Amino acid sequence: MPTNSASLEHVLATLHAQLEAIRAREAGTQAGRDPEELHKMRVAVRRLRAILRASRLLFDAKWVKGLRSELGWLGTALGEARDLDVLRAYVASELTSLEGAERKAGQALLRRLDADRARARGVLRGVLEGQRYAKLLTRLKASLAAPPVASTGVSLLGNAGAEFKKLRRAVKALSGHPSAEDLHEIRIKVKRARYAAELVGADAGGRGQRFIDQAKKIQDILGEHQDAVVLEEYLHEVIDRREATHALEQQLLKRQRKRRKKTRAAFFEEWPKLERRGRKAWSATPTS
């Protein structure tokens, strides 16, 4: 296991890497030509926020809370635009086989999505050109250069074990038919457990890496479930009573219900594998 000072250096290097990723994707996100730029910027923001949480015992609590709050604000702004990118891509793929009235209705739905995306992109550009975002970047750069270290006696391995135990308890408490909100909360806890494990790095060994790989798989499954939920909510908002459009949107809604059912079943099928890998990776680890 690395020394405590080495753990601190590793955490700071990881935080710096995510800040650099945010800056690297900023121009592409503002330009809006490649949706992947926004996606990668959002991932970097979420990782930075998650790493701060996973390493929070190393630092001053007020410092961590303040940075995570501002990163949460930025993540929400990025997420609103990103959700519409995902919805647009999915709907476009679903409409390729349609003809006649349904195809025309599909094109109308895409135009509505494009208009909403344009508005969201405009709002996001305002955020990235604004003072609050500029202050956040300045604050992050200064803070990571001289972080307020509260303790070096923190075990990253112990923290990874603790996050897994929280996840396991949450899954155990699920009903046989969990709600979309329940599964979204589980997805958040899977990400926290994964990022805490990734922060440990090579010290987790092969068992830790197998846990991370399975956590990624479940995260993707629950991510698709959440995409279906978001599309359902959007369709309910924009649903049109004209016959062709209404029929198309009802068809898409039906597909989302099937999609949610399929991914919910996939989660329950894959969860025992993650639980086993988590037990093997963290069972002998004292929690911090």
Q: What is the pLDDT of residues 185-238, one digit of tens each?
A: 999 999 999 999 998 877 778 999 999 999 999 999 999 999 999 999 998 888
**Partners of 149 in the β-ladder:** 59
Percentage, residues of the chain above pLDDT 70: 94
pLDDT tier at 2 (50, 70, 90 boundaries)?
Answer: very low
Contact (Cβ atoms closer than 8 angstroms) between residue 215 and residue 196? no
Given a cut of 80, whether residue 266 has pLDDT beyond it is yes
pLDDT of residue 251: 85
- Asked whether 85 and 39 are in contact (CB, 8 A), the reply is yes
At 3, the pLDDT band (50, 70, 90 cuts) reads very low
Average pLDDT over residues 87-109: 83
Residue 46 above 80 pLDDT?
A: yes
pLDDT the model gives residue 285: 58
pLDDT for residue 239 is more than 60: yes
Q: How many CB atoms lie within 10 A of CB 150?
A: 16
pLDDT category at 241 given cuts 50, 70, 90 is low
pLDDT value at position 107?
A: 86
Average pLDDT rounded to a whole number, residues 125-130: 96
Q: What are phi and psi of 59, to 5 degrees?
A: -120, 170
Q: Considering the entire predicted model, what is its pTM? A: 0.87
Q: DSSP letters along the chain, please?
A: ---HHHHHHHHHHHHHHHHHHHHHHHHHHHH-S-HHHHHHHHHHHHHHHHHHHHTGGGB-HHHHHHHHHHHHHHHHHHHHHHHHHHHHHHHHHHTTT--HHHHHHHHHHHHHHHHHHHHHHHHHHHHHTSHHHHHHHHHHHHHHHS--B--S---HHHHHHHHHHHHHHHHHT--SS--HHHHHHHHHHHHHHHHHHHHHGGGGHHHHHHHHHHHHHHHHHHHHHHHHHHHHHHHHHH---SHHHHHHHHHHHHHHHHHHHHHHHHHHHHHHHHHHHHHHHHTTPPP-
Average pLDDT, stretch 58-66?
94
Mean pLDDT, rounded, of the chain: 90
- Residue 250 is encoded by which pair of tokens? 């009802």
How confident is the model over 28-53, as a mean pLDDT? 94
CB 247 within 8 A of CB 102: yes
Nearest to 235 by CA among 216, 204, 270, 259: 259
For residue range 254-264, list pLDDT tens digits in order. Answer: 999 999 999 99
Alpha-carbon span 114 to 11, nearest angstrom: 40
- The amino acid occupying position 204 is A
Q: Which of 214, 211, 215 is nearest to 278 (CA)?
A: 211
**What pLDDT is stored for residue 101 in this prediction?**
76
Q: What is the pLDDT of residues 153-193, one digit of tens each?
A: 778 888 899 999 999 999 999 988 899 999 999 999 999 99
